[in-house]
A and B are shown apart, each in its own frame.
Chain A
Amino acid sequence: MRHNLNKLLFVLVITAMILTACGPTQASIVQKPKLPSEIVVGVVQPLTGTFAVFGNEGKLGAEMAINDINEAGGIKSMGGLKLKIAVEDAGENADSAKLATESMISKNRPVAILGLYISRFVMAASEVTDREKVILLADALVPQITQMGRQYLFRPGPTASDHGKMAYKFVRDVAKENNVEIKSLAILNEDSANGRANSLGATESALIDKFPIVTTLEYPYDITDATQIVQKLKAVNPDVIIHTPYFNDAIVFGKAFKEIGWYPKFLAGAGACGYVDPQSIAALGDAAEGISMTFSYNPAKKTPQNQKFVDAYVKAKGYIPTEGAGMNYYDAMVLYEALEYSGKNFPDDPLNPDNLRKSFMALDLKSGPAVETYPGNEIKFNALGDNQFPGVVVLQVQNGKPLTVYPADQAEAKPIFPNPHYKAQ
């Protein structure tokens, strides 16, 4: 009897073990996260205050991209899930930008946030987005923002250093093409981190070429009278000036060059602020003619997606998309590509921040809406979250209009070199 009881217990234990082994695992009994009815995308931009011009343009660019994504059927790998935009004003300083980011996340829990525009705003906000594991697609240029070890921060656009390098390369190449001899370079910038980063990029490139830099000058971005500095430059008489203005100061310098009546052989802007935007051209008139500026977005790129965006933007604002608008448009398109990738490769939990981060890291875009609107031909992120193939183009004011003139494969017009105001000394 006792023997039979032991036998029965043995059979029961074995049976239980077999049943346990064949049954569902701990992992597989966890419910798959349910997808929301819409995917919330946050836009945090300076919408009021001194940076409001850039912020509002960026917001409009992001809105247009999200409309285009939804019209094209949403995120197809997630069953056509649509994107919904939520907006917060980053205000005028880093503290208000950080608070706006916290408010955005607590109220809307977005999968990603686009914008911030000002580098110090990005630095402050990325502390919050990293803590909360929210992807941040920044449209700021200072290189250091991706060098702080943030895990969820990505920057599809180029850095300020890339802008400086492109400004130098453009001048060097175009002078050669036009058989204009250039022997000396002056570097001029407003004294923010952005101004310095642009100038360092240009300086680095010039030093590699052993090109003589005759002077470097920094000034406060809220300068009201630049005639003294232009007099100083005139005394040094460089062939080329690479200038990184902020916005207001581009007008101050443009007027000072015109008033003093002295121009170098070429005045090349770097850093995407001032000289070639509609407001600067309106304020400077003829004084803006011939001045170039590097841009993180190419309004002249001849692709269907870019053309669609440009047409819609011109209809809404009356002028071609600005740098801020263009950057936010392609940033939103990069997010779209990452969401599609996540939907395909992580179907169980595509909106999980870690899966989304892996998707961003896995992207290698050579076609599609993001590349069609990007001023380069490839988007692939490095470990820092920067694009390994940064694209920068050069726009030049010709007959009162900003035209893309460099690089040649992306240009809509030939560059005018030297500056039409230049008079041989």
Chain B
Amino acid sequence: MIHTAAQGVITGIMMGAIYALIALGLSIVFGVMNVTNFAHGDFVMLSMYLSYMVGSVLLWDAVATPLITVPILFVFGLIVYYLLIDRTLRQMYVVQLAITVGLQILMRSAALIVWKAQPRALEYSFIQGNIDIFGFSILTSRLFAAVVSLIFIGLFAYFFNKTWAGMAMRAASDDLDVASLVGVNYRRTYALTFAIGSAMTAVSGGLLMSFQQTDPTGGIRFGLLSWCVLALAGLGSLPGLIVAGIIVGIVEALTVSFFDPRSRLLAIYMIFILVLWLRPRGLFGRR
């Protein structure tokens, strides 16, 4: 019993760090631009498919594929921003919502056409394996993915707090009009924000492809999961995002270990509902 619980916590912590990275892109875009990107999960799905393409064509390991997919997703993010998002910023909120939901449907349909309704997976990653420590099983792929996720969240925190572009993003997030008065070009800042959020999904996509498969409907899962982590964390706290990801990961792992595997999503959404009900700004939210 205790062993099973401890094993669940170990697995949950590792998966939670990855969930935090998946939710990071959504958090940046929502936090800085106040844009609710309902297509975020489909950006992860697209990243995973691109990772699959790069991995299978160039015979690269999944974890190396972000070297190519990150620039692609960065440019894709810029294109989506200038073509769609930028035009909705001064519109009614519902227009923005409709655009991102439309983008979600478009991306899913495009994936169905291009990759068909077949799950795609890369055969094997060098990071796959299993270490036994004191009877606990630690999956090396999850461990590697968790460490890389934390490194990327740390790098983003440095960028966000210490660089001019990061400070511009924070300024735009706090007060767009004042930021504009001190020389922040909000369109460029927003474009950069959206592109970085998009590129982050490429990192998580590569890591996920080292131990999972992708399919055209995968975006729904990652989208809802990201919203749940973000709701739990609240806006404006990167450590909060990591803690929220880990809480979701642990709850998920323990639910599967002790209850029916089918109740995994139920447990996650119970957290989502409880947080929205009891603490709408999240556990660590600034606003």
Contacts and interface: CB of A to CB of B under 8 A. Distances in A.
Interface of A: 48-53, 191, 217-220, 222-225, 227-229, 231-232, 235, 247-248, 251-252, 255, 258-261, 279, 282-287
Contact of B130 (A217, A260, A283, A284): A260
Interface string B12-54: 0001000000000000000000000000000000000000000
Interface stretch (B162-170, B261-269, B276-284): B261-269
A229 B119 contact: no
B112 interface: yes
B128 A258 contact: yes
A232 B261 CA distance: 11
B217 interface: yes
Contacts of B123: 282-286
Nearest to B52: A283
Given A50-B217, A224-B221, A279 B117 contact: no
A276 B4 CA distance: 32
Is chain A's interface secondary structure helix, strand, loop, or mixed overall? helix
B13 to A, nearest CB: 13
B8 A228 contact: yes
Given A53-B116, A284-B121, A225 B212 contact: yes
Nearest to A281: B123
B224 to A, nearest CB: 12
B137 interface: yes
Contacts of B112: 48-49, 52
B263 to A, nearest CB: 9
B262 A251 contact: no
A218 B256 CA distance: 11
B119 A283 contact: yes
B120 A283 contact: yes
Contacts of A258: 124, 128
A37 B221 CA distance: 51
A260 B142 CA distance: 12
A261 B120 CA distance: 22
Contacts of A251: 119, 121, 213
18 contacts: A52-B117, A217-B261, A218-B261, A220-B262, A222-B217, A224-B212, A224-B218, A227-B139, A228-B11, A228-B253, A231-B257, A235-B4, A248-B119, A260-B130, A261-B129, A284-B121, A284-B123, A286-B123
A33 to B, nearest CB: 42
B215 interface: yes
A252 B15 CA distance: 15
Contacts of B221: 222, 224
A252 B261 contact: no
B260 interface: yes
B216 interface: yes
Contact of A50 (B117, B211, B256, B264): B117
A293 to B, nearest CB: 16
A282 B213 CA distance: 12
Interface in B113-134: 116-124, 128-130
Contact of A279 (B4, B15, B119): B119
Contacts of B116: 52-53
A385 to B, nearest CB: 29
Interface in B206-261: 211-213, 215-218, 221, 253, 256-257, 260-261
A248 B141 contact: no
A248 B215 contact: yes
Nearest to A280: B119
Given A50-B217, A218-B260, A259-B141, A252 B212 contact: yes
A227 B11 contact: yes
Contacts of A279: 118-119
Given A219-B262, A228-B8, A261-B130, 10 more contacts: A48-B112, A50-B117, A50-B217, A217-B261, A223-B261, A227-B139, A229-B261, A248-B215, A255-B213, A283-B213
A371 to B, nearest CB: 32
A223 B141 CA distance: 18
Contact of B261 (A219, A235, A286): A219
Contacts of A286: 123-124
Nearest to A235: B4
B211 A255 contact: yes
- In the complex, the 10 A-B pairs of residues with the closest C-beta atoms, listed nearest first: A283-B121, A285-B123, A219-B261, A228-B256, A248-B119, A52-B117, A251-B213, A50-B117, A261-B130, A259-B128
A284 B213 CA distance: 10
Nearest to A228: B256
B261 A260 contact: no
Contacts of B218: 224
B100 to A, nearest CB: 22
A248 B45 CA distance: 14
Contacts of A219: 261-262
B7 interface: yes
Q: Which interface residue of B4, B8, B118, B120 has the most chain A CB atoms within 10 A?
A: B118
A393 B257 CA distance: 35
A260 B137 contact: yes
